[in-house]
Amino acid sequence: MRFVVPLTAILMGCTGHETPGSESKTTLDPTDTTVEECESEPGDIVEFLPRLGCLEDFELISAIPVFPEPGTNLSVWTAVDRNQDDLLYFINSKEHSLQWSFAHEHLGASEGMQPITELGQFNLFEYSDPDRRFLLGAVTRYDDDGVWAYELDPTDNADAAMIQAAFDKVCAHAWMCDELYFHPTSELGETMAADLPDHIPVITNL
């Protein structure tokens, strides 16, 4: 059975991370990159970070989402490159309002990699094809609710295996791993969330 956390439980101080039988997400990666240690230095100018080691890292590269939800929140784009052994990028979302622009500038032919297509074709392929190169998402902080959430674009039709792979990768490289939820942003996302393993807590009513 999937474990879904109501928002009221969070506001009352109860989270799904301590539910009996649920697996601690900090054990997913034996290298344990979730220790709080900043990846960046104050004043750094970066295109991406390989991990979010502290709140200052998040604040350095986060931006207001392109399609913000009600309330105060900031977001960081993520991309898992399946052509590079699932290499993870936390993208400077102040500099790149689209994941495509980051991929086009840094992960394409100019860097000796597979060329990045134009925006329309990129979106069509990377959000719908089962053989897509990237697993795209975002880490969003909902300040009004005190929630960290991993999210997909509402048009993304990723299956449960893709969502799990991306979530686990992001969680293993973020200091807030124990506080991170998967937040479905579409009806399909909610359907796929029902098939996620129990160590991934789901929140649906932000």
Give tens-digit pLDDT for 79-105: 999 999 999 999 999 999 999 999 999
pLDDT given for residue 16 in this prediction: 45
Sign of the alpha-carbon torsion through 36, 98, 162, 187: positive
How far apart (Å, rounded) are the C-alpha atoms in residues 149 and 202?
Answer: 9
Strand order of the β-sheet with 134-142 is: 4-5, 202-203, 180-182, 147-151, 134-142, 73-81, 87-91, 48-49
- Split at pLDDT 50, 70, 90, the class of 154 is very high
Q: 2-53, pLDDT tens digit by residue?
A: 445 544 444 444 444 433 333 333 333 334 455 689 999 988 999 999 999 9
Entry pTM: 0.82
